[in-house]
Amino acid sequence: MIPPALKGHFNPMIKHITIILAFATSFGITQDLNAKTDDGKDVILHKNGTWEYAPKKIFDIPIDGSFTIGRNEAKVTIVEWTDFQ
């Protein structure tokens, strides 16, 4: 219990904390969640209780000036990256 002499000093702080918590938790409630299935597939869990498989990620990695093997117009490019330290 807050002593009566200090009660007025804590009320504004409690109001600010309540507003901040309400604001912060609203983001978690309204956004979709990313998850993985037991077999490792990425899924998106929607706030309405439905889900879908996450789209495949495509990365655009510049390879200009790098050593390459094969045709420049290939549909798939495999990039191997190593870091020697």
Torsion of CA 85, 63, 78, 74, to 10 degrees: -160
Residue 84 lies in a domain: no
Q: Which domain holds residue 22?
A: 4-53
**Inside any domain, residue 71:** no
Q: Is-above-0.75 flag for pTM?
A: no
Whether 73 is in a domain gets the answer no
Q: Which residues in the chain show pLDDT less than 70? A: 1-30
Rounded Cα distance between 34 and 54, Å, is 8
Encode pLDDT of 28-45 as tens digits: 556 888 899 899 899 999
Number of domains in the chain: 1
Residue 43's pLDDT is: 92
Q: Is residue 62 part of a domain?
A: no
Is 12 inside a domain boundary? yes
> Does residue 49 come out as left (phi exceeding 0), alpha (psi in the -120 to 50 range) or beta?
left
Q: Is residue 28 a part of any domain in this protein?
A: yes
Instruction: Please report the pLDDT score of residue 61 as a whole number.
Output: 79
